[in-house]
Structure 1
Amino acid sequence: MRNYDLDFLKHFSMVIGFLAVVTLALLVLANHLNGVIPPEVSPTAARATQARIAPAGEVYAGATGAAAQAAAKAAATAAAAAQVAYDGTLDGSVIFNNLCTGCHTSGVGNAPTMDKAHWAARIAQGTETLYTHAIEGYTGPDGGIMPPKGGNPALTDEQVKATVDWILANLE
């Protein structure tokens, strides 16, 4: 007499074991494929990478280079003029609070803070000199650095002058 239950359990156990081995093999294959296939690069990350590795400058040589340099400068000037900062406001407090406050309230980069003692020698040079330094940039004898237009080339000269006037009127 044959024991059919024992045969069934033996075959069923072999099927379950085979399925477990197949499952493990599929898990290992999926893990391997996940490591081999490169992830997709988002368009935002690709643009950020391109901006980060873009050349810092260009080389112009000879007469054609001079023409190309002049054209590039004109294009940069036109692009900067098309993007007026802070909607073209001439309210010095708006520009100061959005741009200048980072350096001129904490003294970063030896920037003069908003008290008259730090500005006395600068004021003695005259407002035209202050305008020129604010517009064109300046490195002081103490190593203090004023970037051109406070680091925002989209500012117009009038906006910079309005901000300098506001700073001078609001010194403590």
Structure 2
Amino acid sequence: MANMVMTCGGNVRAYDLAFLKRFSMVIAFLVLVALVLALFAHHLNSKVQYPADPVAKQKTLERIAPVGAVYAGATGAAEQAAAAAAAVAAAAANVPFGGRTDGAEIFNNGPCTGCHTNGVGGAPKLDAAGIGARVAQQGIDELVKKAISGFTGTAGVMPPKGGNPALTDEQIRAAVEYMVAQSKK
């Protein structure tokens, strides 16, 4: 009986060794196939030419653009004047209403009318009790200052420039003067 166990154990050991040898060869083969596939994929990827992304290219150009410019001599003065004129033109192009200071146009088409027509959020209406009372208490210059910088009252909040920061101070003054004139009608 002892012989039988030993013989049986010896066969199991030989069987395990044969299995491990074959399993190791299969694993080595699979690793080799994976390595060959990875190298082939790398080779194919290096052959493909991808088009440049215009958005990424533009962001890169914006990131590496010079912060300022150096102007020297007579040609530098001319370039500096041209750059200043271009900056003024670009700033004027971004001003609402084309830079016009018509108070009625700014009030009716801008952010003012949404709150001041109906008194939303405690905004004073265009009547003697609303804007008329405020101008009598504080004066028009104080109202313009609060309209430009914003105001937090007991009933609500008015954001700076009525929520449109692109408006100029002159446009805000024109809108406030229009509102005051409407309160006297």
Question: Displacement, 1:127?
Answer: 1.1
Deviations 1:82-117 (A, max 9, x none): 510111111000010012111111111111111111
Deviations 1:113-158 (A, max 9, x none): 1111112441121111101100000011x23221111111110000
Shift in CA distance, 159/135, structure 1 to aligned 2, threshold 3 Å: same
Matches within 5 A, 1:150-165: 150-165=162-177
Alignment match, 1:55: none
Pair 1:108-2:112 in alignment:
no
Percent identity reads 56
- Alpha-carbon separation, structure 2, partners of 1:106 and 1:120: 15
Looking at secondary structure, tell me which structure has more helix per residue.
2
**C-alpha distance in 1 between matches for 2:157 and 2:128:** 19
Q: Within 5 Å, which residues of 2 pair with 1:1-172?
A: 83-99=94-110, 100-123=112-135, 124-140=137-153, 142-171=154-183, 172=185
User: Where does the alignment leave 5 or more consecutive residues of structure 1 unmatched?
Assistant: 1-77
Give the deviation of 1:81 after TM superposition: 6.3
Following the alignment from structure 1 to structure 2, what is the Cα–Cα distance between the partners of residues 121 and 80? 36
Q: Decide whether aligned partners of structure 1 residues 145 and 81 sit closer, same or farther in structure 2, where only a CA change above 3 A counts.
A: farther
Q: Distance in 1 between matches of 2:155 and 2:107?
A: 22
Return 5+ residue gaps in structure 2 as ranges.
1-87
Alignment size in residue pairs:
94
Q: 4+ residue stretches of structure 1 with deviation over 2 A? A: 78-82
| Cα distance in 1 for residues equivalent to 2:146 and 2:91 | 19
From the superposition, tell whether residues 80 and 130 of structure 1 become closer, same or farther in structure 2 (CA, over 3 Å): farther
**Contact 1:80 1:153 survives alignment (8 Å):** no
State the SS of the aligned residue for 1:135. Answer: helix
Contact 1:134/1:148 (<8 A) preserved: yes
Instruction: Check the 8 A contact 2:92/2:99 in 1, yes or no.
Output: no
RMSD over aligned Cα atoms: 1.9
Asked if 2 retains the 8 angstrom alpha-carbon contact of 1:80 and 1:154, the reply is: no
Is this contact kept in 2: 1:81–1:154, CA < 8 A? Answer: no
Query: Which residue identity does 1:86 align to in structure 2?
Result: F
